[in-house]
Structure 1
Amino acid sequence: MRIKPRQELLDIWSATAKVAFAPVPGAKGKGEWRWGGRDGSNSISDAEQLLCLMLPATEIPQFQLDEPNSTDEDLLKVLRPFGGAIDIPQFLIGLVMDYLDRYTASDGTPIFSGGSYFSALVPGEEPTAEQRELPVVESFAASIPLMLSSLGFIKVFSRSVTRPELRARLEQVEKAASRRLSAAMIGLLRSFSILVFPDDSDYAAALLRTVNQNGEPRRRVIEDLRVSLREVAAGLRDLTFGLTQVEQIEREDMLFECGWSWGVHSNATPVEFPVDLGQQTPGLALDAPYLYFTVVALDAIADLYNDRTRLLRLLDDDQLKLSSALRLRWDLTQRYWSTVASFGTKRWPLEDIPWRTVDGVESDYFSLLVTSIAARHLSGRPNDSDLQRLGEILAELANRSRMTRRPLREDPALQLHSPGVSIEVEGATDFSPRLSWVAADFAPLLLKRAAMVAGLVNRIDLRGDALNLADDLWDHVAQRRTIVDDEPGLWDDPSQVYPLPSGDQRISWHHTVRVVESLVLAARLADDQPLRSEPLLGHALSLLAEADHLYSQELLAGTSESGTPERKRLEAVRQRIRRAREIMPARPGTAVSLLLTALGDLDSLVASRDTTEVF
């Protein structure tokens, strides 16, 4: 793997400290944190800005900052503007508290507005102030990993805190973070949507055109698809929270989709919760799934039951109930989209690029989103054959997006990167002006999924292919950094690699956090044990048997009773054989290297004894 996640993350932290923090001269750890970037300051962008620091600090053991006595020196060096080892955790907790204050209304209701991430669908128009205040799934989703990382950070840091005033402050931040986490989970519950439509509708025609890759009769495809989705439909039928169409889901003349709308939808009912979280306002979003927001929600929900969340017990009993409800929707949605993506016996619908949504819109970006769902679904039951097909789809998307191929003149594929894919966000009543959500993070998202697939593959050759793709994508993404003080900074400037007009040089925290997420995955992959080669393991076992036998012969020959040099060499042989036996199941290649050295030393002992006997 050519990606160097440690160094790259250190560079990102260093650049973040330069662009987002204005230190007070001569006052260590004192300064002003500058919220906002290219997309202004809003509940999403500011969360992403914090996650660029918090994700590595809580997801990678080598980057931990919550235990001051064990913080690595190179981490302290790049974060020196924030103070020393004891100051840095307090500074980060202060930023979290500032974020919570900024996005909590005067009546205590957490704010999840889209802000400047909303744009007008028609060029020249501007969203109204009321539209920018609309709560959106991306904000719910961004708050979940931020609050979880903050709660975990506080829980670990508090173990080394003795000052009463600091402990009281930590408890205050912990309570506020837990409150926002609960509100975000409820927001996602109220944004989950099921769209049921007749099998003779335009929606059904688009879905059937996508899944029917073998040219089967229409009625047969409908029946087979309904059978494949029978368990999903049964699970969805038992859900509540304002899902008005759920009773029609198992009708023989209906098909359906499930996932997340862009916000709390118009049919959502309030969710009862024992803690007062402020107002649960009526939803305005269209009661239908959006592929983009579905993937965003699925990624966030996965953090609710990862190892760190469970081991640190970051969720209380009431939150565990919310998490269980979200997990059920997560499972059903994963299964639905994975079934549709791989439907049939020959070519997958997902392999028919670009993906077409039921409303007739198609884009390579949507193919990447569906691939993201399929990859995560396979993480529960890794299958190298399926993962190989996903890897080939990602490689094809890299080619089509001109990330691994030279672009044509005025290549339409470059629109994926700038200005991006515009997604109309519709309401239960017509918005004026009509609203759009622009997705321009194709490059870092593709890198993230390639790193994810590489971590799932269990065959050495396939992992090599996946890593090569991830390396090629990283080479592309790394060149798209903006320039800060004549040095590579953060993301994203596609004009660095494409014949595009020079764009906004301000930092996009949305792009940068996607890169950070990719590097966190790469760091986990580097920290894992290498894949084991079964042929190499057999070879190592044969070498071990021979080395053991020859070592026993040397003991029998009395070499251990000989002079000091021979005894030392024989002891070194023993240590190598012991070490090889210990690591062989996980690292047979290293074991082979140790055993070859041991066999060479044993042969030298035999040869020297034979020479002595001759004379």
Structure 2
Amino acid sequence: MRIRPRQQLLDLWRAHLQTSFRAGEWVWGGRDGRNSVSDAEQLMCLLYPSSELANFGVDPDSIATADDVAAVVAVLGDDIRVGAALVTKIEEFFDTYTDADGEPTFAGGSYFRDAGFGAPTDAQRALEVVDSYSMSLSLCIAALRVLRRLEQYLGKDVRREAEELSERVTALKPRVSDRLTSAMIGLARSFVMHTPPFTSSAGQQVLNLVNQTGAPAKDVIADFSAALGDLRSRALADVRSGHTKDVELRDDKRAFECGWTWGIGSGIDYESDSDITARIATQPGYAINQPYLYFTLVALDGIKDLHSQRTSEPDLFQPHQAELVDSLKRRGDLAQRYWSTIARFGTGRWPLEDLPWRTSDGKQSYYYSLAVTSFLIQDLLENRSTTDLGRTVEVLRRLADHGNVTSRPVPDHAAELLHHPGLTLTLRGSEDLHAGPLIGYYVSDFTTLLLKRSLLAAQLARDVETREQLLSFARSAYKHMQDRAITSGRAKDLWDNLGTDGDTAAPSWFLTERMMECLVVAHTMYSQPPLSSRELEKSAQGKISEADHLLNQEMLQVGDSVNSPRFKDLKEIEQSLNRARELMNKRPHTAEALATDALRRLDVLAFAREDATR
């Protein structure tokens, strides 16, 4: 199945608006009801492509130059009414998830589930979750970019309705900025470090994971300490908050983990030189101070959006926000380096290659393996390194097979649980709130995670075989998701089909938003120049050189007959070779094809001349 990101993004927008915009009114919520994460995901499906991709803009100037986009968003109105509709939805979101004191809220709400210990209490549903912090980073950045683009257009429009909308945009931007600040503080306080003694149960789990050769424990502990010594030092120097009393980074007899827990960590304070009075800086935390792979992954995705935006549009942030961006970037770099180092620890088989991945609390899942593979791929991308890409691709191949993405689905197979209901995370520490039950959180994005990481890794590949293998995984994952799309009813063409098609089927914004992200990544990948390598360039260069020499030989035979058909043929071949030279470093296959055609035409001319001589 071919991935056609522009058409498929437009199809997603069309299906989204059919579901969300009914009889002139926006309808919030999906299969999982309303909460701060789900509503952000629903809004992000429209805002993110518009902010990331130039040809998906929804300001009047952009719509005027993109007929296909204009046709899809026409349900929202025309001209500035499209922008007005989006401003209204952003206002509604902020009205809903801001409390009476004007403080942003980030509760998990209906995304919190019964993990087998009892249904979450109302107080527990009000707990804040890293998913909401991270999604709010991306949402606020997308909203600020869309509002800025709309504001630039409205500044040129003298109509009364444009003036009124401009006033609303001006009033909305500080609210978006405040939520962005709170989300960053929430993420900073959710970053944790875990240093269990190697003699403890958690320490033994870490030791067993990294010891893939059966070496003596003391040797593995020494190697572990040496491999992570620099990261421990950076954690001591760069992370000002998060050093709770049970964290000892200087002790080599302790293991070391870092990343994001599910919410604000217990006892994690916020330290900053800025005078920030937001409640989130001081509210209590309940989450256990041990990292979760899923929440670390989503936190890093949000931080990546944040930092790339800081780089491209620094004036989008206030001074205290710039400090927060740098603080989160340091934490993100630390976590990414830690997990990519552990994934490849040792000199034999990687811990990552020993499927499925096992966490320090004794749990194991192919989802965890895919999460750690994602950290490794991102590390390779940021370092522009292909050294370990081959082994990483093989891990992806095995995970795609184990997850029934590239293999034939088997009814009632354990792999099906990865897709629905998904991996169940138990949110340890949640039971400390008013003695409630231990609550859970479902994660069902195995296939979209595989799709996104395969597309990202394909951007790094430097040989055709590796790139095609990764794109094959991506196509299989996309087909797997298409087979799971809702096939009828108002939510048709959204996700996820649970056998309840028809008007009663409601979309999962969790999965739909992730499919949107995958298509944006695909759009970005296909916008880049095609794969090139030194070997391909050498092959093209050889053919161009030979053709150029033969062309010069033929020119010697023509003399001054500039008006002859033969001379015109040779000039056309010369133009073709000039074009081949221009493309040699960018599109070597195309350059080679042009040179091959030139060689063929030159041979025809040479044969005709020789035949005439005979």
TM-score, normalised to structure 1's length? 0.91
Cα deviations by residue, 1:102-147 (Å, 9 ceiling, x for unpaired): 2111211111111101112226x32222111111111000011111
Matched residue count: 602
Q: List aligned pairs for 1:117-266, cutoff 5 A.
A: 117-122=111-116, 125-161=118-154, 162-163=156-157, 164-238=163-237, 239-245=239-245, 248-266=248-266
Cα deviations by residue, 1:579-609 (Å, 9 ceiling, x for unpaired): 1111111111111222233344445555666
Distance 2:307 2:65 in 1: 27
Residue 267 of structure 2 corresponds to 267
User: What is the aligned-residue identity percentage?
Assistant: 38
- State whether structure 2 residue 439 is matched by structure 1 residue 439: no
Distance 2:270 2:263 in 1: 14
- State whether structure 2 residue 540 is matched by structure 1 residue 510: no
Contact 1:493 1:504 in 2 (8 A): no
Distance 1:85 1:463 in 2: 42
Residue 7 of structure 2 corresponds to 7
Distance 1:610 1:402 in 2: 62
Q: List aligned pairs for 1:553-592, cutoff 5 A.
A: 553=553, 555=555, 557=557, 561-563=561-563, 565-566=565-566, 568-592=568-592
- State whether structure 2 residue 478 is matched by structure 1 residue 458: no
Contact 2:15 2:491 in 1 (8 A): no
Residue 401 of structure 1 corresponds to 403
One-letter amino acid of the structure 2 residue matched with residue 526 of structure 1: Y
Cα deviations by residue, 1:433-488 (Å, 9 ceiling, x for unpaired): 22111112222222222222222222221111111111112111111001233994
Contact 1:480 1:495 in 2 (8 A): no
Contact 2:57 2:63 in 1 (8 A): no
Contact 2:577 2:595 in 1 (8 A): yes
One-letter amino acid of the structure 2 residue matched with residue 16 of structure 1: H
* Root mean square deviation, CA, Å: 2.6
- State whether structure 2 residue 339 is matched by structure 1 residue 337: yes
Q: List aligned pairs for 1:349-360, cutoff 5 A.
A: 349-360=351-362
Residue 26 of structure 1 corresponds to none
Residue 348 of structure 2 corresponds to 346
Contact 2:240 2:271 in 1 (8 A): no
Distance 2:467 2:492 in 1: 30
Q: List aligned pairs for 1:289-438, cutoff 5 A.
A: 289-306=291-308, 310-311=312-313, 313-427=315-429, 429=432, 431-438=435-442
Residue 60 of structure 1 corresponds to 53
Contact 2:558 2:566 in 1 (8 A): no
Q: What secondary structure, in the 3-state scheme, does the structure 1 residue paired with 2:441 have? A: strand
Residue 549 of structure 2 corresponds to 549
Distance 1:426 1:394 in 2: 30
Structure 1 residues 65, 607: CA separation in 2 closer, same or farther (over 3 Å shift)? Answer: farther
Distance 2:314 2:236 in 1: 34
Residue 277 of structure 1 corresponds to 278
One-letter amino acid of the structure 2 residue matched with residue 367 of structure 1: S
Distance 1:503 1:444 in 2: 25
Structure 1 residues 71, 55: CA separation in 2 closer, same or farther (over 3 Å shift)? Answer: farther
Contact 1:135 1:263 in 2 (8 A): yes
Cα deviations by residue, 1:161-201 (Å, 9 ceiling, x for unpaired): 22443333222222221211111111100111111211210
Distance 2:529 2:67 in 1: 26
* Higher mean C-alpha displacement, 272-281 vs 392-401: 272-281
Question: 1:410: how far off?
Answer: 2.8
Contact 1:495 1:502 in 2 (8 A): no
Question: 1:359: how far off?
Answer: 0.9
Cα deviations by residue, 1:248-303 (Å, 9 ceiling, x for unpaired): 21113222211111111121224444455345312122222222211111111111
Structure 1 residues 112, 351: CA separation in 2 closer, same or farther (over 3 Å shift)? Answer: same
Question: Which of 79, 88, 93 is 1:94 aligned to?
Answer: 88
Question: 1:18: how far off?
Answer: 0.6
Structure 1 residues 236, 423: CA separation in 2 closer, same or farther (over 3 Å shift)? Answer: same
One-letter amino acid of the structure 2 residue matched with residue 251 of structure 1: D
Structure 1 residues 569, 369: CA separation in 2 closer, same or farther (over 3 Å shift)? Answer: same
Distance 1:52 1:455 in 2: 24
* Higher mean C-alpha displacement, 567-576 vs 420-429: 567-576
Contact 2:194 2:247 in 1 (8 A): no
Structure 1 residues 575, 96: CA separation in 2 closer, same or farther (over 3 Å shift)? Answer: farther
Question: Which of 483, 489, 494 is 2:487 aligned to?
Answer: 483
Question: 1:61: how far off?
Answer: 2.9
Contact 1:258 1:289 in 2 (8 A): yes
Cα deviations by residue, 1:9-28 (Å, 9 ceiling, x for unpaired): 111111001111113xxxxx
* Higher mean C-alpha displacement, 250-259 vs 263-272: 263-272
Distance 1:46 1:172 in 2: 21
- State whether structure 2 residue 115 is matched by structure 1 residue 113: no
Q: What secondary structure, in the 3-state scheme, does the structure 1 residue paired with 2:143 have? A: helix
Question: 1:57: how far off?
Answer: 1.8
Question: 1:338: how far off?
Answer: 1.2
Structure 1 residues 382, 503: CA separation in 2 closer, same or farther (over 3 Å shift)? Answer: farther
Distance 1:237 1:394 in 2: 34
* Higher mean C-alpha displacement, 376-385 vs 72-81: 376-385
Question: 1:344: how far off?
Answer: 0.9
Contact 1:495 1:503 in 2 (8 A): no
One-letter amino acid of the structure 1 residue matched with residue 549 of structure 2: H
Contact 1:356 1:363 in 2 (8 A): yes
Residue 160 of structure 2 corresponds to none
Question: 1:326: how far off?
Answer: 0.7
Distance 1:568 1:46 in 2: 65
Contact 1:188 1:297 in 2 (8 A): yes
Distance 2:89 2:383 in 1: 39
Distance 1:177 1:536 in 2: 49
Structure 1 residues 409, 235: CA separation in 2 closer, same or farther (over 3 Å shift)? Answer: same
Structure 1 residues 327, 526: CA separation in 2 closer, same or farther (over 3 Å shift)? Answer: same
Q: What secondary structure, in the 3-state scheme, does the structure 1 residue paired with 2:288 have? A: coil
One-letter amino acid of the structure 1 residue matched with residue 297 of structure 2: V
Contact 1:65 1:71 in 2 (8 A): no
Structure 1 gaps, min length 5: 24-30
TM-score, normalised to structure 2's length? 0.92
Q: What secondary structure, in the 3-state scheme, does the structure 1 residue paired with 2:383 have? A: coil
Contact 2:193 2:289 in 1 (8 A): yes
Contact 1:447 1:470 in 2 (8 A): yes
Question: Which of 76, 98, 102 is 1:104 aligned to?
Answer: 98
Cα deviations by residue, 1:27-61 (Å, 9 ceiling, x for unpaired): xxxx2111110111111001111111122222233
One-letter amino acid of the structure 2 residue matched with residue 157 of structure 1: L
Distance 2:168 2:570 in 1: 61
Structure 1 residues 18, 349: CA separation in 2 closer, same or farther (over 3 Å shift)? Answer: same
Distance 1:293 1:254 in 2: 23
Distance 1:128 1:365 in 2: 28
Cα deviations by residue, 1:308-332 (Å, 9 ceiling, x for unpaired): 8524643232211111111111111
One-letter amino acid of the structure 1 residue matched with residue 129 of structure 2: V
